[in-house]
A and B are shown apart, each in its own frame.
Chain A
């Protein structure tokens, strides 16, 4: 099986540059604005979209993504609407891969079989579910793979060489390397350590390795893109939305435009990553 993720990664490999993977929170600050943000992402240079599914108790997320999820839930976002958002996006874009990212409970309550069928029909290519480690593969990972949806696993600094094979076993699409111990949006550690970690994981798999958690600037994206196959940016994008919201949640500027400006800069960063390396 090949998915849009596999095709996009192969194309970028041929092009000789890393992917820019952008996360945003579905439904933040409201459905229509969020859809306009999603549509703006590929135009600004995003190669893969991570569509955040809001959850009331996001245990691996920092304050920025916690707040974004609460804004989305308050505006009435549900898993059903998040899938609808992917469908709406697919009306004009059938190439950009969409990865749903979030926590398991809303999927479990929706019903795994129904969720996978609806996700597939909505044009979803992959899933990142933070609280489903390989020990829980029977829950969603194996059914997703059977349904033709990539299951993208997180590897972390605590995933040692002994554990890596287990983490990689049913992973497909790409591996998401969490570059630090901690929650989303914390400070990025030394980028030189990232290169070593990417090399270590590459010793175990041929899958592309995307690196995230803490990437905020074009310069960081460039530095990480020198060794990684993709750079994931999330909190910075969510903050770009939050920054144009007033104290009562009213829009003080166009969130989609704010996100596009940020993402264009990040896209330049990843596009110069290998050039910088070559120099």
Chain B
């Protein structure tokens, strides 16, 4: 493939067909097409409606607790001895991760569309918890599909969803992880298309989902611009975020895509290493293909069959990636790198001990990349990492690996 000419702006996508270059699109069954077109119409109206924005802003402020703080990690910076490290603390949001930003936006859309039942897929359970939360808040029934493997390794989140009144349906097909949960959610949607809204948790799926999820998550990057100007009077030199489906990352990155001085790095789950099958690095080790409504980089074999990924982090355990990330990779605007399970685990412990913050295993991957890069950068340089989730849900997984009985 020839390397494409850099566009004038990296912030204008997708086009009217929902494409980011060759990525994205609407690869869905006909049953869903009318609904997706209807969603697009409602989204077009809502995104420019001041009343919609006001309602979402109000909820973001008073329900989620936004803006999330920008925190200077003084001891970590000192420890690594290089660039100044800041965290965008979306783990302090209500429900414990960035997922709530998207769920509030989409539940308002679902209400506008007159839908009376919400379904969602979840991997780590963070999106499931956020969805169950907004459903409780707005009094709508909620069904969450979750891979059977994930149900087991994310038991605290399963319990939280149930407390919030959601029905959690374990999915045992495939490896019983996020991909399989998404298949099952799509099957539910096809069956109950008339009254059901599918609240997708990441910036993937058929158009307009990648765009609207990005817009709801971009609150992260927009706040950061202002907070950074206030703290340092200039833009950061490097942004780092973990990418599973890629919603927290695109939310952080998007407002900075046209700032050439800002280097941007997405961190994928390298699992047990890219040589074998046990990783989830779709961008680094996958190839473009079509799954779950969009064309994007996928882990697949030479016959186009999708592989099951592996990661210590259930939230990164997805063999695909949002289509905009595929495009940002191909245009070389964003660099994507893998971090292995053991590196993430080490970063998890480092942050816990040095800053008194227990990160989720997903941002622990991003942190491991920061640990590699910060010492090589000057002390006058600035890194911002999206601390997109808290690690309470992961203590059992980590405890088991570290041999600490719980």
Contacts and interface: CB of A to CB of B under 8 A. Distances in A.
Interface of A: 55-62, 66, 73, 78-80, 103-110, 130-136, 153-160, 163, 167, 178, 181-183, 186
A59 B183 contact: yes
A254 B295 CA distance: 41
A170 B32 CA distance: 19
Given A110-B303, A131-B293, A159-B34, 5 more contacts: A60-B31, A110-B304, A133-B29, A158-B33, A183-B190
A135 B26 contact: yes
B171 to A, nearest CB: 11
Contacts of A79: 303-304
Contacts of A105: 289-291, 298, 300, 304, 306
A181 B306 contact: no
Q: How large is the interface on B (under 10, 10 to 19, 20 to 34, 35 or more residues)?
A: 35 or more
A185 to B, nearest CB: 11
A264 to B, nearest CB: 31
B34 A163 contact: yes
B30 A156 contact: yes
Contacts of B179: 57
A167 B30 contact: yes
A132 B291 contact: no
Contacts of A58: 183
B285 to A, nearest CB: 15
B380 interface: no
Contacts of B191: 181-183, 186
Contacts of A181: 31, 190-194
B25 interface: yes
A155 B30 contact: yes
B159 to A, nearest CB: 28
Interface of B: 17, 25-35, 173-174, 179, 183, 186-187, 190-194, 287, 289-293, 295, 298, 300, 302-306
B30 A178 contact: yes
B189 to A, nearest CB: 9
Contacts of B302: 109
Contacts of A73: 305
B290 A104 contact: yes
A59 B305 contact: no
Contacts of A132: 27
A9 to B, nearest CB: 21
A131 B194 contact: no
A59 B292 contact: yes
Contacts of A59: 29, 183, 186-187, 190, 292
Contacts of B289: 105, 108-109
A259 B171 CA distance: 30
A162 to B, nearest CB: 9
Contacts of B183: 57-59
